[in-house]
């Protein structure tokens, strides 16, 4: 955050100016978040293309590929996956974009053969992130690694240390950190102080009943290959999220994105956590061990005072979907990666701002709320400022693309990463230690040093 953002007094303005001030506030943020905010006016020529590899082009890996392909100057040259089926699909997909890749089963062979790689995207299951990321960093590549950094704190710490030792960049896939909606919300809370003193936060990720992930008939990975890579069978290989060996469970899988937002917006790491969770619904799949529903309470000591944050994941109902809510004595703000969810309630006794009468209202949860609009473009004179226009353009891009742009911009221009490994390490500790609290039925008190790698 820099000082170019608006101060609370600036909010004494009409709706158009309010929107403008919010957009300008966002524009101020661009100076400190250059990864997603800097305009790329020139398409890099072929000689300046970045040669990129991917390890684990499964569901998320392929999604990242499609977003990275929209970024000028990115050329995929290698793809590694233990599953021949995914190697085949990836090569076909990239061929459509005129990008011919060499494919590998083993990342070591890829790194050995593809010395010219500038960067690698790691989108394998969490338990091999540290192995894959550390090997790539040591081979001199910059790495974009998906969250959760690792399913062990030691694994995550080793990644921070290797990035530091090698001097290579390591961006972790908490893409909310590159999302203009979140920067906009943070500006309203932190600079414009629309919530007054923040005392509580709430977050949830509820999704409907889950089905097991399958695989096309006849395209199984052969048992020998599975075994070589640490999986006993296809169920473990496909539904790795449900096994402790491979995953940090729902809190790491989904919660880490949102608990990262708690840490980020509250400007600190938690002081303590308690929780409860159980494998209560999906009891028929033998051998699976992660809980299917979980509720946690994190306690924070912020500069303004104590804040309690409730966070839950339910895998049996989509009620409410996913979002984060910050509550203060003057108002409440709801923000989500789902761009349909974003609004602000003012408490009745809080000072009414002039722009509220003119602001568009939506009725939600029995209240009139002001819609959280990102990057509206009008100046008080009714013109579009370049900064507001830029915000609007950014908000139109998918957050994953912005997050990848942050990574590639950092490689090209030395701009700061929006989610360096040190920040991701803090959330990794926050969620993996919460698992310990749940397992022990106990309260975990964090020591500030735990969050430093
Ligand atoms: N940022 C986000 O919004 C987001 C969303 C979904 C998933 N993710 C993360 O992305 C990662 C992948 O998740 P997914 O849903 O795509 O899983 P997936 O199982 O669909 O994909 C994993 C891929 O890795 C391959 N693989 C497994 N072990 C390997 C090994 N040792 N070497 C090489 N390849 C290997 C698999 O064959 C598969 O293609 C996870 O870390 C997950 O947490 C992030």
- The secondary structure of 316-385 as a DSSP string is S--TT-EEEEEEESSEEEEE-SSTT-EEEEE-TTSPPPGGGGTS-EEEETTEEEEE------B-TTS-B-
Question: If you measure from the C-alpha of residue 58 to the centroid of ligand 1, how many angstroms do you get, rounded to a whole number?
Answer: 5
Question: If you measure from the C-alpha of residue 367 to the centroid of ligand 1, how many angstroms do you get, rounded to a whole number?
Answer: 41
CA distance 58 to 85: 10
Mean pLDDT of 149-169: 98
- Please report the pLDDT score of residue 159 as a whole number: 98
Question: If you measure from the C-alpha of residue 128 to the centroid of ligand 1, how many angstroms do you get, rounded to a whole number?
Answer: 10
State the alpha helices, DSSP H only, in 81-214: 84-96, 107-113, 129-138, 153-166, 180-190
Question: If you measure from the C-alpha of residue 242 to the centroid of ligand 1, how many angstroms do you get, rounded to a whole number?
Answer: 13
Closest atom of ligand 1 to 83 CA is 37
CA distance 358 to 378: 14
Q: What is the 8-class DSSP label of residue 128? A: G
CB atoms within 10 A of CB 381: 8
Q: Is 393 helix (H, G, I), strand (E, B) or coil?
A: helix
The CB of 180 under 6 Å from ligand 1? The reply is no
Whether the predicted pLDDT of 351 surpasses 60 = yes
The CB of 146 under 6 Å from ligand 1? The reply is yes
CA distance 115 to 236: 32
The CB of 270 under 6 Å from ligand 1? The reply is no
Residue-averaged pLDDT of the chain: 88
The first and second tokens of residue 321, run together, are 């979907």
Question: If you measure from the C-alpha of residue 254 to the centroid of ligand 1, how many angstroms do you get, rounded to a whole number?
Answer: 14
Residue nearest to atom 6 of ligand 1 (CA): 60
Percent of the chain at pLDDT > 70 equals 85
The first and second tokens of residue 379, run together, are 């100046």
The CB of 419 under 6 Å from ligand 1? The reply is no
pLDDT band at residue 362, thresholds of 50, 70 and 90?
Answer: confident
The CB of 260 under 6 Å from ligand 1? The reply is no
Closest atom of ligand 1 to 229 CA is 31
The CB of 229 under 6 Å from ligand 1? The reply is yes
CB 4 within 8 A of CB 33: no
Whether the predicted pLDDT of 246 surpasses 60 = yes
CB 50 within 8 A of CB 75: yes
CA distance 307 to 370: 24
Q: Is 114 helix (H, G, I), strand (E, B) or coil?
A: coil
CA distance 133 to 137: 6
The pick from 53, 56, 81 for probing ligand 1's pocket by mutation, whose C-beta has the most ligand atoms within 8 angstroms, reads 56
Angle between helices 84-96 and 59-68 (to 10 degrees): 20
Closest atom of ligand 1 to 174 CA is 1
pLDDT band at residue 374, thresholds of 50, 70 and 90?
Answer: low
Ordered structural domains, the chain, with CATH: 197-385+421-445 (3.30.360.10)
The first and second tokens of residue 381, run together, are 């004179």
- Please report the pLDDT score of residue 387 as a whole number: 62
Segment (H or E) for 54: strand 50-55
pLDDT band at residue 184, thresholds of 50, 70 and 90?
Answer: confident
CB atoms within 10 A of CB 364: 13
The CA-to-CA distance between both ends of the chain, in Å, stands at: 24
CB 200 within 8 A of CB 307: yes
248 or 36, which is more confident: 248
Whether the predicted pLDDT of 360 surpasses 90 = no
Mean pLDDT of 412-422: 96
CA distance 264 to 427: 10
Query: Left if phi > 0, otherwise alpha if psi is -120 to 50, otherwise beta: which for 307?
Result: beta
Cα distances from 270 to residues 256, 296, 328, 445, in angstroms, run 13, 12, 18, 9
CB atoms within 10 A of CB 358: 12
CA distance 342 to 334: 5
Residue for token digits 């004494």?
12
Question: If you measure from the C-alpha of residue 451 to the centroid of ligand 1, how many angstroms do you get, rounded to a whole number?
Answer: 25
- Please report the pLDDT score of residue 58 as a whole number: 98
The CB of 80 under 6 Å from ligand 1? The reply is yes
Residue for token digits 């923040």?
198
CA distance 423 to 19: 30
Mean pLDDT of 410-415: 95
- Please report the pLDDT score of residue 366 as a whole number: 75
Mean pLDDT of 25-33: 32
- Please report the pLDDT score of residue 28 as a whole number: 30
pLDDT band at residue 14, thresholds of 50, 70 and 90?
Answer: very low
The first and second tokens of residue 33, run together, are 């978040």
Mean pLDDT of 10-14: 28
Closest atom of ligand 1 to 56 CA is 24
- Please report the pLDDT score of residue 221 as a whole number: 98
The first and second tokens of residue 205, run together, are 């990720």
CB 247 within 8 A of CB 241: yes
CB 136 within 8 A of CB 113: no
Question: If you measure from the C-alpha of residue 241 to the centroid of ligand 1, how many angstroms do you get, rounded to a whole number?
Answer: 10
pLDDT band at residue 39, thresholds of 50, 70 and 90?
Answer: low
Cα distances from 75 to residues 35, 69, 118, 436, in angstroms, run 19, 8, 10, 42
Phi/psi of residue 58, nearest 5 degrees: -90, -140
- The answer to whether the pTM exceeds 0.85 is yes
Mean pLDDT of 309-332: 97
- Please report the pLDDT score of residue 381 as a whole number: 59
Tell which residue, 238, 236, 249, has the closest CA to residue 287: 236
Residue 365 CB partners (closer than 8 Å, separation 6+): none
Mean pLDDT of 213-226: 97
Tell which residue, 284, 341, 277, has the closest CA to residue 315: 277
CB 65 within 8 A of CB 57: yes
Mean pLDDT of 20-47: 44
Question: If you measure from the C-alpha of residue 181 to the centroid of ligand 1, how many angstroms do you get, rounded to a whole number?
Answer: 26
């Amino acid at each position: 955050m820099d000082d170019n953002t608006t101060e609370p007094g600036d909010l004494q303005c009409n709706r158009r100016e309010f929107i403008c001030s919010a957009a300008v506030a966002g524009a101020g943020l661009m100076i400190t978040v250059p990864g997603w905010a800097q305009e790329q006016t020139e398409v890099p020529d072929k000689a300046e293309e970045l040669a990129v590899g991917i390890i684990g082009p499964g569901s998320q890996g392929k999604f990242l590929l499609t977003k990275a392909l929209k970024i000028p100057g990115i050329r995929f040259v290698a793809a590694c996956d233990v599953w021949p089926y995914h190697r085949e699909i990836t090569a076909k997909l990239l061929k459509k974009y005129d990008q011919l890749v060499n494919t590998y089963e083993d990342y070591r062979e890829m790194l050995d053969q593809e010395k010219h790689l500038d960067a690698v995207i790691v989108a394998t299951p969490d338990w091999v992130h540290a192995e894959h990321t550390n090997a790539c960093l040591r081979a001199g590549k910059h790495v974009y690694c998906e969250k959760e950094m690792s399913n062990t704190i030691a694994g995550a710490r080793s990644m921070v240390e290797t990035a530091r030792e090698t001097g290579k960049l390591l961006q972790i896939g908490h893409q909310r950190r590159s999302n203009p909606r979140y920067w906009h919300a943070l500006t309203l809370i932190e600079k414009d102080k629309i919530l007054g003193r923040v005392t509580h936060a709430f977050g949830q990720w509820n999704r409907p009943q889950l089905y097991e992930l399958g695989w096309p008939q006849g395209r199984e990975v052969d048992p020998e290959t599975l075994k070589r890579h640490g999986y006993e069978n296809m169920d473990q290989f496909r539904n790795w999220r449900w096994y402790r060996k491979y995953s940090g469970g729902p809190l790491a899988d989904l919660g880490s994105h949102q608990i990262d937002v708690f840490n980020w917006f509250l400007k600190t790491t938690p002081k303590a956590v308690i929780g409860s969770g159980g494998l209560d619904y999906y009891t028929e799949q033998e051998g699976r061990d992660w809980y299917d529903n979980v509720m946690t309470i994190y306690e924070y000591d912020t500069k303004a005072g104590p804040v309690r944050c409730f966070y839950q994941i339910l895998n049996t109902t989509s009620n409410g979907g996913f979002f984060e809510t910050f509550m203060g004595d003057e108002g409440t703000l709801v923000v989500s990666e789902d761009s349909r969810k974003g609004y602000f309630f003012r408490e009745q006794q809080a000072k009414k701002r002039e722009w509220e009468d003119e602001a568009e209202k939506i009725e939600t949860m029995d209240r009139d709320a002001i819609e959280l609009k990102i990057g509206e473009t009008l100046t008080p004179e009714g013109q579009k400022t370049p900064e507001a226009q830029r915000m609007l353009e950014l908000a139109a891009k998918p957050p994953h693309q912005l997050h990848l742009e942050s990574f590639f911009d950092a490689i090209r221009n030395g701009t700061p990463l929006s989610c360096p490994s040190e920040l991701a390490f803090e959330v990794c500790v926050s969620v993996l230690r919460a698992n310990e609290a749940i397992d022990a039925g106990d309260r975990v008190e964090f020591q500030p040093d735990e969050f430093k790698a």
